[in-house]
Amino acid sequence: MTDSSDDKNGEGDPTSDASGEEVIATYKRELVAEAELARGDLDEIEDHLRVLASELRDRGMPRIEATLEACRRLGEPRAVAREHARVRSPFGARLTKLRAYSAVALIMPILIQAAHGVAAGSGLLSRSGMELALSMVLVVALAARVTWARPIVLAGMICFSLEILLGVNAGVAHPLWLVPYVGTVMFVMPWRRSELTASGLALALQVWSYAGASFALNFAITTHGRADWRPVSYGAVVAFFTTVIATTGGVLRARWGAVAGLVSAVALVAAVGEFAMLPYYFPLHFQIPAMALLGSGALAAAISAMLSWREARSLFGTLRYVLQ
Amino acid sequence: MPRAVRHAKERIAKDLIAASATPLLLAILHKSPSYGYAIIQAVRDLSGGELEWSEGMLYPVLHRLEEQGLIEAYEQIGETGRKRRYYRLRPDGRKALQEERRQWDIVTTALAKAIKHA
């Protein structure tokens, strides 16, 4: 088990040494290809491989075979990496730098547009202001590759893509507006199984309900031309703020986040009711998707609340996941 | 002999291995701090070679216990001169071990009685 055993079974054979090192390097490369592991975790696995290979050599196995056997016993690298990622990344596998930065590059025009809206007169205390603040937080989180940013950006971008599609359908939006949204979805999409954990899914669903609430609020404002919060009023306003609170609670893995999520589900159901009772006439091609967005938002909030409750670490949560 | 029975005689069921992983790890670390490879060896010795853990899956379990605050990791230079990550029990881990012991006592007592009367 000591380094002296390196001298046996392949001792003095530089080819054998190099092959053993190459086997370990290949194993590590395959681990990293599946999920980005922390340096310390990789070193720990490498240490295990070396100690095991060394022991096998002590038993008379040639160096290269000992290293291969050590790798075999440690397990299929992709499966090992997936298990590590599941534990180490509470909200899902961390994005590679290329994917994270590409997503940031695509979000930047959206952020600039929101900033332009704020500068044009809506001010910071408006829907545009809130969206600007949220997108700035998300851009920073995505650039820092913290794991909670991915499900939030994923669901947010899918929802806003649908909202733009609705606008395209109604003739008030251009199809090209979809490019940054759909492009970002492509980069943050969990393409492989288990890339999103239950906590990550809870966050994604909470953001889905945020999109519903945001749509209802936007609709209320644009219908009246001013923010008097009617007729899709109370439900939309409560849902809008509670979904933000619930998402924050989800990142902190706090039980109060689940409670806020439940409140947002109820508020969205109320918003659906308010929307259905509107005295105005809306064409069906607008009404049906709008109701679907609100209704699915309510359902998403309810499921998210259940998942958040199950995945919560404590009543008040913890800050340890914020930077992970 | 049916295949399932033959299989069961050859190896401990995966579910049983998974269920016993946490108490075993906590008990091993209760004796003294240790590192991954040594823990695998300890499990093998304690079970007379009957319990074969998937070595790569040990670390995610250790990291999960670390996340739960039951154990903590620290680095120390190993006998090979390389830095090595060791694990030791935390106070919450000691409490969890007591609770695991209580629960396993209930299970093994009930099982022993059930098998005796079977």
**pTM of the predicted model over 0.90:** no
* Interatomic CA distance for residues A196 and A207, integer angstroms: 15
The DSSP-derived string for A148-180 is THHHHHHHHHHHHHHHHHHHHHHTSS-GGGHHH
**The predicted structure's pLDDT at residue A5:** 42
> Is residue A71 less than 8 Å (CB to CB) from chain B?
no
CB contact under 8 A, B63 and A41: yes
In tens digits, what is the pLDDT along chain B, a chain of 118 residues? 444 444 444 567 778 888 888 999 999 999 999 999 999 999 988 888 888 777 887 888 898 888 778 898 998 887 767 789 999 999 999 999 999 999 999 999 998 988 887 7
> Is residue A79 less than 8 Å (CB to CB) from chain B?
yes
**Helix (H) or strand (E) segment spanning residue A264:** helix A255-276
Tens of pLDDT along A252-304?
Answer: 888 999 999 999 999 888 888 877 776 666 666 667 777 888 888 899 999 99
User: How far apart are the CA of A187 and the nearest CA of chain B, in angstroms?
Assistant: 27
Cα dihedral A28/A32/A33/A35 (nearest 10) = 140
* Interatomic CA distance for residues B62 and B87, integer angstroms: 8
Tens of pLDDT along A155-210?
Answer: 888 877 887 887 787 777 788 888 888 888 888 888 766 677 788 888 889 988 88
Cα–Cα distances (Å) from B24 to A111, A255, B28, B104, B105, in that order, read 51, 31, 6, 11, 14
> Is residue B104 less than 8 Å (CB to CB) from chain A?
no
User: How far apart are the CA of B62 and the nearest CA of chain A, in angstroms?
Assistant: 10
ipTM over 0.95: no
Return the residue matching tokens 């239950």: A198
**The predicted structure's pLDDT at residue A16:** 59
Residue A11 has pLDDT above 60, yes or no: no
* Interatomic CA distance for residues A138 and A147, integer angstroms: 11
